[in-house]
Amino acid sequence: MGGYSWYKNSRLNRVSSWDNSPCYDIPSEIIYIKDENSKKSWSLGLNPKADEKNYNVIYGFGYAKYIHKCDGLEQNLEIFVPKQDSCKIGILQLKNTTMNRKKLKLYYYIKPVIEEDETKSNGYINVDLDKNNNIVYAKNMYKEELQDTIIYISCSEKIEFYTGDKNFFLGTEGISNPHGLRAKNLNNSNGLGKNICMVYEVQIELKSYESKELSIILGAEDNLIDCKNTAYKYSKIQNCIQELNNIKKYWREFLGRLQISTPLESTNIVLNGWIPYQTVSSRLLGKSGYYQSGGAYGFRDQLQDVLGLKYFDPSIAKKQIIKHAKHQFIEGDVEHWWHEETNRGIRTRFSDDLLWLPYVVMEYIKHTGDISILDIELPYLQGDLLQEGEDEKYDKYAESNLKESLYKHCIKAIEKSLNFGIHGLPKIGTGDWNDGFSNVGNKGKGESVWLGFFLYDILNNFIPICRQKQNRELEFKYETIKNSLKKELNSNGWDGRWFRRAFMDDGNMLGSMENDECRIDSIAQSWSVISGAGDNDKKFISMDSLENHLIDRENGLIKLLDPPFEKGKLDPGYIKGYLPGVRENGGQYTHGSCWVIIAECILGFGDKALELYRMINPIEHSRTKDASQKYKVEPYVIAADIYAESNLAGRGGWTWYTGSSSWYYRAGIEYILGLKIEDACLKIEPCIPKEWKEYEIKYKWKESIYNIKVKNPDGKNKGITKIILNDKEVENKIKLDGKRNVYNIEVIL
């Protein structure tokens, strides 16, 4: 019920245990209730000690609510994390619905970690009760760098008994029927040197038909004084309620900045909150989810995440750009990922990571018009270069004394990428966007067709910046390389009906009709359109081939490649370790699906774009009981992948913690509905189905409100006839002013 918690880093400093086993589903935070009169006990959530099956859960923005009724007792628990304080609060409402007085005991159990893994810290954690401050607190007595971390549990009710001894509390029957619930009281043992847990018990009495509210607190701080102060603050129910209202208000205002109303309700639901909420909460704040608890920043990952958040607050993108630029090495390459708390990260030979810096910088400038970001002086990292035959190195890299403008950081990234093979295409290294292609070019010869399109797009957009900076030499150089790259992409990259994916070190091709496996790959086709580098006829032919080979309408998915790798002679890397049709190996990798939809919009195919957009919407995979049992994952957040083969076809995986959420949002808002902000000006350039007669967008920019109604009287896919702003016809470029004004905009296709 409580999930798991962490302090500062969701991997390196877990407060309670993380477990993602779908077979066992072992909770690490549990609330038990015991009726002292009937001696009956149960857990407040369905797992691990359910008494009946009438459990309900409501998930909202910033909170979760658990509702249960049994034994004449109504139980409503609302859990949230305050915006400023490092704790998790549960407001528990209990109501006695009988005529008899109820005498209850409540037990709050957590499996403490204060480390990366519970097996590493078990036996080294000391648990103690501070009766004066009503907290049970714990410290890791062994791990030196974590000895400042103190975790605690508390309650608005008086704590008299606790235990840190897991063997005593659980006994022989485990969390489904703990011995501690049958004992007269907990044993007040600190548990040091034993199997560790943290549990307290409190007594609660309810008169007939009486209701009561209490707070249940789990927190962490760097000193005991802050623990005591925070616990005291949230021992007051009114403070808890006020903070819960603050959290709900924050998300309501943030997500409410952009709201849509279209003829397709499933699109309205996911775009009006859930997708950006997923991006912010899981990708930027938590860096964690059920399928992976990483805790680290990925260089390409969190940069892509902010692309979909530019409509809400472009400063989020600016902060992320600045953070990532500091993790670029003097030589131009970057850390693939790093932990902010330890300054440790991994240096690799991935070929695309570094290019996401100039890509996102240019997107930010295009959106805001803020060219001054290029002048910000930022340091580089320094460290040992990778040796020959060394694909990666995890280390603590120091900040160098060299500081240069973000403009020069971008140039260094581009220059590092201008490393071409015998086919005139950029070398792939140990992987481009597809990390699974780890053996395609690790000998230094393999080339990537997709990376060629990506690099072309970056050069095409960076050349005007060189011109603006009056760097004519660089402008001419990049223009020459861009033109040469386009020629090679359309000759050496072309396979007759679609674009190839890559050339391997040994000369073998991926994404060719000659292949038994990986004959066609999605992202080379979509980026030939997105980048504009594909010849006109080839773009249409390749997207038609993509539709014929990679779109599975029966199971509602868009495959990344086909056929998957299995028994063929090619050894592209660890991608082959996945089962056929799973994740990158021929399943739907939703990043790629979103790029397909964006490409269809660019080509003007609005009917097809919305069909595919609707097809991969998680709500559409969960409309019926049969569909949801096939899909198996949450219907309100984007899944990173959907399996594509045999009995697993249509099953979702890797939800929440996926960068696909930002791309899905961008595909819907920017390319289908056509809301574009360029140089701080609003433009509408939709690509919609012909059958849509109208839709609406409400956009709040600072203090201004833009009410946009798009009408399609002639049943078009795209193309604006006129725009009317407050009853006056204007050009399709409306300056955002941010003042307290309301703008009513009517768009006629």
Residue 580 confidence class, pLDDT cut points 50, 70, 90: very high
Residue spans of the domains in the chain: they are: 14-253, 260-267+282-286+553-672, 679-748
3-class SS of residue 664: helix
pLDDT digits (tens, 9 = 90+) for 167-179: 999 999 999 999 9
Rounded to 5°, angle at Cα 62 from 315 and 226: 85
What digits encode the pLDDT tens for the residues 45-81?
989 999 877 899 999 999 999 999 999 999 999 999 9
Kindly give, in sequence order, each residue whose CB lies less than 8 Å from that of residue 98, ignoring residues fewer than 6 positions away: 72, 208, 209
Closest CA to 265 of 593, 620, 626: 620
Rg (CA), the chain: 28
SS3 110: strand
**pLDDT of 620 above 90:** yes
Q: Of all residues in the chain, what percent are helix, strand and coil, respectively (each to 5)?
A: 35, 30, 40
Q: Of the ranges 427-436, 478-487, 645-654, which one carries the lowest mean pLDDT score?
A: 645-654
The two tokens of residue 687 are 């690509």
What was the pLDDT predicted at 736?
95
Tell me which residue of 272, 329, 324, 325 sits closest to 301, measured CA to CA.
324
Q: How confident is the model at residue 21 (pLDDT cuts 50, 70, 90)?
A: confident
**Residue 1 predicted with pLDDT over 70:** no
pLDDT one-digit tens code per residue, 504-544: 999 999 999 999 999 999 999 999 999 999 999 999 999 99
CA–CA distance, 661 with 656 (Å, rounded to integer):
8
CA 590 from chain centre, in angstroms, equals 12
Q: Mean of the pLDDT values across residues 457-479? A: 97
The pLDDT score that the predictor gives to residue 359 is 98
Instruction: Give the residue-averaged pLDDT of 360-369.
Output: 97
Contact predicate 318/375, CB 8 Å:
no
**Residue that is written with structure tokens 């390459």 in the block:** 333
pLDDT tens-digit readout, 544-566: 999 999 999 999 999 999 999 99
Q: Mean pLDDT across the stretch 210-239?
A: 97
Q: Are strands 551-552 and 557-558 parallel, antiparallel or unpaired?
A: antiparallel
pLDDT at 148: 85
* Architecture of the domain spanning 14-253: Distorted Sandwich (2.70)
Residue 647 pLDDT greater than 90, yes or no: no
Its pTM surpasses 0.75:
yes
- The pLDDT of residue 373: 98
**pLDDT digit string, tens, across residues 287-321:** 999 999 999 999 999 999 999 999 999 999 999 99
Give the residues across from 395 on adjacent strands: 345
Q: Which two tokens stand for residue 125?
A: 């954690």
* The predicted structure's pLDDT at residue 3: 84
pLDDT band per the 50, 70, 90 thresholds, residue 146: low
Rounded mean pLDDT of 215-223?
A: 97
Contacts for 392 with CB less than 8 Å, ≥ 6 apart: 336, 346, 347, 348, 349, 386, 430
State how far the Cα of 714 lies from the Cα of 716, in Å rounded to an integer.
6
Distances (CA, A) of 521 to 428, 517, 547, 558: 15, 10, 11, 11
Q: 585: which 2 tokens? A: 């190996």
Q: Is 145's pLDDT higher than 70?
A: no
Distance CA 51, CA 33 (A): 11
Indicate the average pLDDT of the chain. 96
Helix axes of 406-417 and 356-368: crossing angle, nearest 10 degrees: 140
Contacts of 618 (CB under 8 A, 6+ apart): 270, 631, 633, 634, 635, 636, 637, 638, 639, 652
How would DSSP label each residue in 150-205?
EEEEEESSPP-EEEEEHHHHHTTTGGGS-GGGTSSS------TTS-EEEEEEEEEE
540: tokens are 């249409």
Give the position of tokens 């890509």.
359
Please report the pLDDT score of residue 125 as a whole number.
Answer: 94
- The pair of three-digit structure tokens given for residue 448, joined into one six-digit string: 């990537």
Encoding tokens for residue 618?
């998680």
- Beta sheet of 335-339, edge-to-edge order: 297-298, 335-339, 344-348, 392-396
Q: What is the DSSP string of 490-516?
A: HHTTB-SSSB--EE-TTS-EESSTT-S
pLDDT confidence tier of residue 678, bands split at 50, 70 and 90:
very high
Strands (E), 171-306: 196-206, 211-221, 258-261, 297-298
Q: Which helix (H) or strand (E) holds 41?
A: strand 41-43
* Measured distance CA(661)–CA(638) in Å, rounded: 6
Q: Coil, strand, or helix at residue 743?
A: strand
Q: What pLDDT is stored for residue 147 in this prediction?
A: 72
In CATH, what is the architecture of 679-748? Sandwich (2.60)
Asked if residue 94 lies in contact with residue 212, where contact means CB atoms within 8 angstroms, the answer is yes
405 C-beta neighbours (distance < 10 Å), count: 16
Residues 6+ apart with CB under 8 A from 77: 1, 31, 44, 65, 66, 67, 90, 91, 92, 93, 216
Q: What is the per-residue pLDDT for 132?
A: 96
Q: Do domains 14-253 and 679-748 have the same CATH topology?
A: no
User: Rounded distance, CA 652 to CA 9, Å?
Assistant: 27
12-16, 118-122, 653-657 — which is least confidently predicted? 118-122
- 2 has a pLDDT exceeding 80: no
Q: What percent of the chain stands above pLDDT 90?
A: 94
